[in-house]
Structure 1
Amino acid sequence: MLDRLDGPAIDLAEFRGRPVIVHFFATWCAPCIEEIAALDALATRLGAGVTILAVDVGEVDARVRNFFRQRPMRFPILLDRDRAAMKRWRVDRLPTSFLLDRDLRPVSLAVEPLDWTSPPVQAALEALTGTSPIDTSANRGRSTP
């Protein structure tokens, strides 16, 4: 469970039954800033089909709040103040994104900035919401908390 920047804490289990993107980032990370904007555009396109959760890692609330004051997002910004979630998910660089299936199992992992409009990423998202399988080989050895 992580505190939300602008609301009550969120437990990942609340989203069981729907695909989820969990995106780890920081406001000081230039590629993260670009990707968070791309995720916001994706949220518009996906609507309620996929939940996006962005997890800010290790920053004070005021800094994150100031950053998003000028950049409102269509999805929750969660605060991993002590980096416990980052450690639990074995994230070792930013940005890192996980695609989770309806059972909240990781089906894809990206440890670099993604172009959320690229054909491979679109195919993975379609597989989450449709019937196509996703190659999980990149995620072997990883688990969700």
Structure 2
Amino acid sequence: MPAIADPPIAPSARRATPSAAGILALVLAGSPTGATEFAAFADAGQAPAPVDTVDLDGRPFSIGGEPSRPTLIHFFASWCEPCEEELPALMRYAEAEGERVRLIGVAVGEPASRAKTFVARLGLPDPIAHDPEQAVARAFGVRGLPATAVLTPSGGRLLRAAGPVDWAYPRTSETLHALSIQLQEHKGESR
């Protein structure tokens, strides 16, 4: 998995702070597609406060908060080959999920012009946030690309996967829904 370039990420942001829920699921173990990499969707603790940035056209854009449905925040860059390989499957996954999930793309560490060309070539849907200084990536604990963060609905929890995810694997959707429910229940128990 390619690492995110400078500026360096502070040591305190390098590790997820495990919650009482701990690591909840291994999504791609034994994936029938033969993926050589897997993504552990782990509970990364409380979601960060909303992060303000801009979209690829320079319009203000905020990422975060407590969404009403699971929100997938996918971090990518045009120079990242695994990102380019993963994105079409992620788009198909988001289309199949329809209104059950929201997808936000985040172009990390590159000029908007380069990111726009990449996004247009792949046909990525809006919204695409621009993160040239990697502030959004750092806020979500991203250390390499591709990476996916999932904000759980009404729970303010953050799930995170480092590396490519096999979005075509049926258990991916099942696992994300189950994790979201578990975290909401855990939040209710800890009050």
Instruction: State the 1:67 CA deviation.
Output: 1.1
Q: What do the CA deviations read for 1:18-63 (whole angstroms, capped 9, x no partner)?
A: 2101111111011111111111111210112101111111100110
**If each structure's helix is expressed as a fraction of its own residues, which one has the higher value?**
1
Match of 2:102 in 1: 51
* Alignment partners' CA distance in 2, 1:60 and 1:7: 11
Q: Which 5+ residue runs of structure 1 have no aligned equivalent? A: 135-145
TM-score between both structures, scaled by the size of structure 1: 0.78
Quick check: 1:88 aligned with 2:139? yes
**Which residue of the partner structure matches residue 81 of structure 2?**
30
1-structure distance, mates of 2:142, 2:89: 20
- Which secondary structure state, in structure 2, belongs to the residue aligned with residue 11 of structure 1? strand
Greater Cα shift, 53-62 or 11-20: 11-20
Q: State the distance in 2 between where 1:120 and 1:99 align.
A: 16
* Residue 126 (structure 1) shift: 3.0
Q: Report the equivalent of 2:56.
A: 5
Q: Say if 1:14 and 1:24 are closer, same or farther in 2 by CA, change over 3 A.
A: same
Whole-Å Cα distance in 2 between the matches of residues 15 and 5 of structure 1? 23
Which entry has the higher C-alpha Rg, 1 or 2? 2
Partner of 2:68: 17
Q: Secondary structure at the match of 1:93?
A: coil
> 1:105 pairs with 157, 160, 167, which one?
157
Residue in structure 2 matched with residue 39 of structure 1 by the alignment: 90
The aligned counterpart of 1:140 is none
**Counterpart amino acid of residue 72 in structure 1:** G
SS for the counterpart of 1:70 is: helix
Partner Cα distance (2:60, 2:171) in 1: 32
**CA–CA separation in structure 2 for the residues paired with 1:13 and 1:99:** 10
* TM-superposed deviation, 1:14: 6.5
In structure 2, list runs of 5 or more residues that go unmatched.
Answer: 1-51, 184-191
Change (3 A) 1:46 1:15: farther
Output the TM-score relative to the length of structure 2.
Answer: 0.61
Contact 1:43/1:75 (<8 A) preserved: no
- Secondary structure of residue in 1 paired with 2:82: helix
Runs of 4+ in 1 over 4 A off after TM superposition: none
